[in-house]
Chains A and B, each alone.
Chain A
Amino acid sequence: MVTATTAELLERSLAGDRLAFERLFRPLYDDGFRLAVAMLSDAALAEDAVQDALLNAWRKLHTFREGASVRPWFLTIVANQCRSVRRGRWFSVSRVADVEIPMADPATADRLDLEAALRRLPQQARLLLVLRYYLDMSFEEIAGVVGGSPSAVKSSTHRALVRLRRECGQEVEES
């Protein structure tokens, strides 16, 4: 079986081949959804954001730099779409927890703590933590999403982590 390379799929996508585009981006759908759901805390909104991000990716494919990695490029578009959704006035109603969770379970308490603490962080800090600790991206890859150097991203991520721990009411352990 002949497997088309990323470069070939990109070239075919640019020529208008939507199946090539789908083969290129479908493996990234789940990552896009996970990022969106962590940024928006809402599965329905996250689905919408990823769909819009895919549309934007299709429209902006000509801006993709040859040799760059597709994953951070796509996740950048997803992150921007999430920012746009959060800004949108027409959507501005609150999110409320989907289900009642008994508080006795320590794991549940952690989950609620983390979710609440993340909500209090600035968007950029939340994005850094999600990319690093949820999508398990390297600092080099994260820099490809948020811009800046990997070392600057590492510092910013550390500051975001310190702030998250503070928001969780924890002792801050400098490392």
Chain B
Amino acid sequence: MEKRSFDEVELRGAFRATFDRAQPRSDAADRAFEAVAAAGAREGMLGRRLMGAVAVALAILLIVVLQIQRGALTVPRPTTPAGQVPTAPVAPRATPSTAAGGPVNRPYPEMVVADGGQVALAGWSRTGQVALSQDGGATWTKTRPAAGTELSILDLQWVDDDTAYVSTTDGLYRFQRSTGGWAKLSSRSDLVRIDMRGPLTGFAVTGAGQVLETADGGQTMATRSVGISPVTWIQWVSASNLWAAGPQGVVASADGGATWSRQLTFPTDARNGAIGTAQVGFRDESNGFALFDVAGAAAGSRVYAVYHTSDGGATWTAESCSCGPVAVPDWLARNARPGLPAAPHGALLVTGATQAMLVTNDTAAGITSLCATDDSGGTWTCRPVPFALTSGALVVRGRTLMLAATAASGPLLSVSMDGGDTWTTRTI
């Protein structure tokens, strides 16, 4: 092959040829500044200045406290992070909650997760199948942990672009993409959600709704109390910020999980004695959604609420319902299952500061729809996908969508590269 050598002029030309093709939509700048105007109207300049001053003051206070403590203690005690209202701090490594004895969390039927530009991993809980793509979803190869062992897949997560953690009913496994090898890390068989911050540290949620923390890559795990029980969801958002959700509400930590404070309480009159599922998903440290889904009082009814925050959870706004035992949004009427699919492993896929998607299944009509909101959950637009599914999980990047699903014919993978207009489907 002829070797080409970019000099600086050629390099500039190559950059332009490569990236100038991409243009923002004609109204993109207008929309961006409208978003700033809307945020400015909400927050007010005085408030922003005040918040900035308070944050600086709290940060200084935090540093002073840590300095004082450093002289007396080997390990600094957790402190309440700046910007959060200190509620009763939770003692680390508390005893397991006995209230959470039932099967609160079940694995999603399918999971799909991806990392960086090219690698993706999909799993099917019931069959124990795992499929790997290393070319952006164009081709897939099958693999499975502990070949020959009957197991179910509970959850998947990439911790870097070579290493994935796979929780199964046979234990927690590590998968190395570069070697194709599997290694068993732990025999725990109840880790229904895993959320690692890196290869060593992270959290998991058990089928009973307990929160576990590990500092050695899952080999040993200690129970943590986060102030609500049971927990159905946990998510790292940055190195120190994470959120957890359960039927009681949403809690947050800004110190890596050492202390937690309640941010949102779900409506108690909606529960009717049933344990619902809850999910929290953040785009960044400011913008997030919370979703609450529980059986309603009337047979076959569901209570379903979407909340949104743009200030890191300090305030939450209920968007899609009045948050009592009321009618679900129109598009979720009949027997639709809002809890159906989506996310790396959840019902709601947060795709932007005010944008989210989910896949919902109208089992009565046999129609699976892709629904999206761009106004924090206030309104949703749905359109059917051109195949009937019993369940599915979705990941999105830009206009690329990947759906790991189960249809009447069995497991399948479907990829759209045009925002859902057209799909390429393959059986697994």
Contact = CB atoms under 8 A, between A and B. Distances in A.
Contacts of A26: 29, 33
Nearest to A45: B398
A62 B137 CA distance: 44
Interface string A68-107: 0000000000000000101011111111101000000001
A76 to B, nearest CB: 16
A37 B23 CA distance: 9
Given A90-B281, A96-B417, A54 B5 contact: no
B25 A47 contact: yes
A59 B117 contact: no
A77 to B, nearest CB: 12
Contacts of A113: 4
B219 to A, nearest CB: 23
A44 B344 CA distance: 20
A99 to B, nearest CB: 9
A168 interface: yes
A55 B35 contact: yes
B383 to A, nearest CB: 18
Contact of A41 (B29, B46, B117, B157): B117
Contacts of B28: 33, 47, 50-51
Contacts of A159: none
B216 interface: no
B396 A91 contact: yes
Nearest to B133: A94
A63 interface: yes
A147 interface: no
Contacts of A52: 284, 353
Contact of A92 (B46, B49, B283, B397): B397
Given A94-B118, A115-B18, A134 B48 contact: no
Given A16-B45, A90-B283, A171 B397 contact: no
A38 interface: yes
Contacts of B52: 62-63
Interface string A139-166: 0000000000000000000000100110
B300 interface: no
A169 interface: yes
Interface in B2-32: 3-6, 8, 11-12, 14-20, 22-25, 28-29, 31-32
Contacts of A58: 36, 39-40
A171 B3 CA distance: 7
A29 B27 CA distance: 12
Contacts of A94: 114, 116-120, 133, 135-137, 397, 400, 402
Contacts of A44: 398-399
Contacts of A95: 117, 136, 397-398, 400
A62 B112 CA distance: 41
B200 interface: no
B352 interface: yes
A8 interface: no
A52 to B, nearest CB: 6
Contacts of B367: none
B138 interface: yes
Contact of B353 (A55, A63, A92, A130): A55
7 contacts: A29-B29, A90-B344, A92-B114, A94-B136, A96-B400, A119-B117, A165-B5
Interface of A: 14-16, 18, 21-22, 25-26, 29-30, 33-34, 37-38, 41-48, 50-52, 54-55, 58-59, 62-63, 84, 86, 88-96, 98, 107, 110-111, 113-115, 119, 129-130, 133-134, 136, 161, 164-165, 168-171, 173
Interface of B: 1, 3-6, 8, 11-12, 14-20, 22-25, 28-29, 31-33, 35-37, 39-40, 43-46, 48-49, 52, 112-120, 133, 135-138, 157-158, 235-236, 281, 283-284, 343-344, 349-353, 355, 395-402, 417
